[in-house]
Each structure stands twice: as structure tokens, then as C-alpha cells.
Amino acid sequence: MAVKKNMKSKLFVVTGGSNGFGRAVVQKLLEKNHFVISLSRSLILKKEVEMYQSTFFQFKVDFSKPFSSATQRFLIRTFSKINLKKIDQVCLINNAAVIHPVDRIENLFEKEIQKHIQVNLAAPIAMTQVFLKATSLFKGPKIVVQLTSGAALRAVEGWALYCASKAGLNMFNQVLTLQNSPDQNFKAILYSPGIMDTSMQKNIRSVKKSQFPLIEDFKRFKKEDQLKAPEVVADDLIRILSDFSKLESGQTYRIG
């Protein structure tokens, strides 16, 4: 779908954009005629996005491994194709994350620990750095969104790594906000989507009670239809991002 002439659009970079919540965000943004760059370990099928060939770009990235140099080159190449003069706002949505391993701390393996921290903390930090470098010449409004969780604020048995990585990302966002406070065109926010009906929830329900004592609660959430559809949450996030002037840098926004 082509963007109308003389009409400015927003540009969004979404990590983990091929599945779950990220996929819902990508689809909603494309339907609103925004430019979207999806960075994910798998690609969206071409037939699903062929009508958006002039506004959608995707790149395969394994966030469990170092990736920044190749990703930065891709972003810069893609930005040159888009022509940032047509863009009135750029936004990074750091969505990609994992929940596993879920277990008692003494049962964790070092490789699992390293992979989890790489995906949930090191990758969004590196992705933010890549985004800031790639958009350094862009003078319009710029937003960085980190997906957070209630687990960043309270201890959940079995989720030691998830709690720690999300808490670390929250603090990183505070420093990012402080560093850029003089820039009125820059805002960094946290978004907490709540519990959604995604593969992450399915993975949580698949572990043993000895690994995750609260598993029966999460099974009940599914049984009682308490899980929100990713599309509903995507609409909420996009609504929040729609008015740059109302965003407060450093704040945590939650599903309304």
C-alpha cells in the first residue's frame, strides 16, 4: 500500500515483529499507513504483507547473539530507501523477549542464563544504541519504547532471570531518559502490556509446579479468558504513541 503524496507518516522499528504481540503491532501500524521495519528471528510470509511492499521492510535477527553492526547497516540502508523527509516521527519498540528458563535458581544452566540476559537485556540496550546512531541526523520527534512487566517490580518465584532482566531494562530506560532530558524531541517510555494470549503464556503453562509455583493461576487466567488479545493491546500502545506531546519521558504506561 503506497503512502499518499504530500502526506507525512511515522516510521516504526519493531523487534520481535513476526509473532505474537509484535506481529499485531506491525499489522496495526501498516494498516494506518505508517512505515514499519520488523527485526525478528523469523520473517513474516511475503504473501501476508505484499500489499505493504512500499512501506514494510524486514530483517532476520537472532537477538540471542551479537547483532548490532549488521542491523545498523540494514537500518541505514532502509532509511535511505524510505527518505526521512517523508517522516515526521521515528519510534523504536523493543518488544522481543523470552520467558525461559523458568525454574529454581540452583537448577539454571549458565548457557541459559547468558542467552536470557542477552535477549531480554543486552539486545534491547544494543538495539537502542543502534537506533540512536542510525537516526542521529533525524531532527524530528523520536521515541524509544521498552516493553516491561510487573515482574520488573516484584519478585516471582521461578522467574529470577525474567524479573532481573526486566528490572535492568527499567533502570536502563531511566538513564536513557536522564541522558536525553535536554532534548525536547526525544522521549523514552516503558509499556507494560499485561497478560496476553501469546506463545509466551503457553510456554509458562507448560512448566512444572516445582519450577513455577504460580502455574495454576496462569492456567486459570487462560481458562477464564482473562488473557487479552494481542491486537487489543497493540491498539492501546499505538493510541498512546499517537500524540507525542502527551507522552512523558521516563514514565510507565499500562494497558488501559
Catalytic option among 52, 162, 191, 253:
162
Query: Which string of DSSP letters, residue by residue, matches the chain?
Result: -PPPTT--EEEEEEETTTSHHHHHHHHHHHHTT-EEEEEESSPPPHHHHGGGTTTEEEEE--TTS--HHHHHHHHHHHHHHH-GGGEEEEEEEE--------S-GGG--HHHHHHHHIIIIIHHHHHHHHHHHHTTT--S-EEEEEE--GGGTS--TT-HHHHHHHHHHHHHHHHHHHHTTT-TTEEEEEEE--SBSSHHHHHHHTS-TTT-TTHHHHHHHHHTT-SBPHHHHHHHHHHHHT-GGG--TT-EEE--
- Is 162 marked active-site? yes
Residues with active-site annotation: 162
